């Protein structure tokens, strides 16, 4: 199974500024004498509500004001126009709770559950542009140009939406237009199930993560800092393989480092992402729009993941004797983590990741031993 993966402003009260403005403007907009007057009054009143001097508006503030105006007057064409303008170039980091009622972009709403009894994680991602986007972006690693981007937002506990992922691609590259929404959907599934089980131990998901789809390549994937890459948009990826790649590369971001290793990769936390996340997804209710057949995912976990847990249960700590940087040592460590979840639950996994004092295999063993020893 182990193989190398191919390689906003916030107010002083602690609430997002957009939410404070939104609440103030919603009441004020009802009394504005005209459409233009409403918008001008909203601008002035919003700045006064925050005690701030006149300044350039943020995208978050602009969206909050437009939504407040549209709640009061749904036919307000000027507010609609300004709202559309907010979704060009750099998108807002936060959006009001009821943005879906007014969102001027085609989008897909998603729900993911970690278990049947847990509440769903609500998300949405854009599937088109409000305006044709003529600008081109360059990724920080490969310096290639991209002219399209999908944005995904996740709903926070208070109802507000936060930007979580961007998938960037070149619309002229064969296969990119079809791959982008598929990849985005798997990013959201992986995020939801991981947060539900262990949270975000490295705070890797506190800022938006970018996935870049490269036209050339052999169908592999890699991670570099906060950026993920899928190589070869024209390569056909089976749904399960795409999910595995996403879980592996996000694993490098989310899970504590394992290594350095001599093989199969320098850092093994991508493989930890594979085995844990695919196992969690196999046990979770599948969303009805899932492209990954439940039987295929269950078979993968049965054949590639569960044998690792059984191998550690048989070998125990003695199995680690010898090369600590080898693929065999990594396999046993993955089995150790899976066995810990089997016997002590996911709470023990979170404790393990919090108690690590280093990245090597011996560091992981030292952190896990007290949790597995009666």
Q: What are the residue boundaries of the structural domains of the chain, listed by start? A: 17-254, 269-372
- The residue among 7 and 80 whose pLDDT is bigger is 80
Cα–Cα distances in angstroms (integers) from residue 307 to residues 138, 226, 310, 331, 368, in the given order: 42, 32, 5, 10, 19
Band the pLDDT of 135: cuts 50, 70, 90: low
Q: To which H or E segment does residue 22 belong?
A: helix 17-29
Q: What is the pLDDT of residue 48?
A: 44
Q: What is the pLDDT of residue 294?
A: 95
Q: What is the pLDDT of residue 25?
A: 45
Average confidence (pLDDT) over 264-291: 97
What does the block give as tokens for 342? 């089997």
Question: Is the pLDDT at 227 greater than 70, yes or no?
Answer: yes
Average confidence (pLDDT) over 150-165: 97
What does the block give as tokens for 103? 């969102």
Question: Is the pLDDT at 274 greater than 70, yes or no?
Answer: yes
Tens of pLDDT, residue by residue over 334-364, are 999 999 999 999 999 999 999 999 999 999 9
Count CB neighbours of 31 within 10 A: 10
Q: How far is CA 276 from the centre of its chain?
A: 16
What does the block give as tokens for 172? 């002229």
Q: What is the pLDDT of residue 313?
A: 97
Left (φ > 0), alpha (ψ -120 to 50) or beta: where does 239 sit? alpha
Band the pLDDT of 137: cuts 50, 70, 90: confident
For residue 145, report the phi and psi dihedrals to the nearest 5 degrees: -95, 140
Look at residue 209 and give its three-state secondary structure: strand
Minimum mean pLDDT range among 144-148, 167-171, 247-251, 252-256: 144-148
Q: What is the pLDDT of residue 327?
A: 96
Look at residue 358 and give its three-state secondary structure: coil
Look at residue 217 and give its three-state secondary structure: coil
Question: Is the pLDDT at 63 greater than 90, yes or no?
Answer: yes
What does the block give as tokens for 191? 């995020």
What does the block give as tokens for 368? 């896990």
Average confidence (pLDDT) over 90-110: 97
Helices first, then strands: H and E counts in the chain: 12, 10
Contacts of 199 (CB under 8 A, 6+ apart): 350
Question: Is the pLDDT at 11 greater than 60, yes or no?
Answer: no
Question: Is the pLDDT at 12 greater than 50, yes or no?
Answer: no
Concatenating the DSSP letter of every residue in 38-105 gives HHHHHHHHHHHHTT--S-PPPHHHHHHHHHHHHHH-TT-HHHHHHHHHHTSSSPPSEE-TTGGGT--S
What does the block give as tokens for 359? 């990245």
The pTM of this model reads 0.85
Average confidence (pLDDT) over 291-307: 97
Beta strands 221-224 and 121-126, pairing class = unpaired
* Mean pLDDT across the chain: 88
Tens of pLDDT, residue by residue over 181-199, are 999 999 999 999 999 999 9
158-41-76 Cα angle (round to 5): 75
Concatenating the DSSP letter of every residue in 273-312 gives HHHHHHHHHHHSPPPTT--S-HHHHHHHIIIIIHHHHHHH
Q: What's the number of CA atoms in the CB half-sphere (13 Å) around residue 38?
A: 27
Q: What is the pLDDT of residue 89?
A: 85
């Amino acid at each position: 199974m182990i193989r190398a993966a191919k390689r906003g402003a916030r107010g002083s009260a602690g609430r997002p500024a957009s939410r404070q403005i939104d609440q103030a403007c919603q009441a004020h907009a009802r009394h504005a004498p005209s459409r233009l007057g409403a918008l001008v009054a909203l601008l002035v009143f919003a700045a006064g509500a925050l005690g701030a001097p006149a300044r350039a508006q943020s995208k978050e503030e602009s969206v909050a004001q437009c939504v407040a105006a549209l709640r009061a007057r749904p036919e307000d064409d000027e507010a609609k126009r300004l709202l559309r303008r907010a979704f060009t170039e750099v998108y807002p980091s936060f959006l009001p709770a009821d943005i879906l009622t007014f969102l001027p972009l085609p989008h897909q709403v998603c729900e993911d559950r970690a278990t049947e009894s847990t509440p769903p994680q609500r998300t949405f991602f854009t599937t088109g542009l409000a305006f044709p986007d003529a600008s081109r972006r360059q990724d920080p690693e490969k310096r290639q140009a991209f002219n399209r981007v999908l944005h995904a937002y996740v709903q926070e506990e208070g109802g507000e939406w936060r930007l979580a992922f961007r998938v960037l691609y070149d619309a002229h590259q064969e296969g990119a237009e079809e791959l982008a929404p598929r990849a985005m959907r798997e990013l959201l599934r992986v995020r939801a199930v991981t947060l539900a089980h262990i949270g975000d131990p490295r705070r890797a998901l506190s800022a938006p993560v970018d996935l870049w789809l490269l036209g050339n390549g052999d169908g592999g994937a890699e991670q570099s800092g906060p950026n993920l890459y899928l190589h070869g948009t024209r390569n056909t990826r089976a749904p399960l393989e795409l999910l595995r790649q996403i879980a592996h590369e996000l694993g490098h971001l989310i899970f504590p480092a394992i290594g350095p290793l001599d093989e199969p990769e320098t850092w093994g936390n991508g493989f930890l992402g594979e085995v844990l996340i695919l196992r969690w997804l196999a046990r979770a209710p599948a969303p009805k729009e899932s492209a990954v057949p439940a039987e295929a995912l269950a078979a993968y976990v049965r054949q590639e993941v569960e044998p690792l847990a059984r191998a550690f249960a048989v070998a125990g700590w003695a199995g680690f004797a010898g090369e600590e940087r080898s693929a065999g040592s990594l396999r046993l460590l993955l089995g150790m983590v899976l066995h810990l979840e089997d016997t002590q639950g996911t709470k023990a996994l979170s404790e393990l990741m919090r108690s690590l004092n280093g990245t090597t295999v011996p560091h992981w063993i030292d952190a896990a031993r007290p949790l597995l020893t009666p």
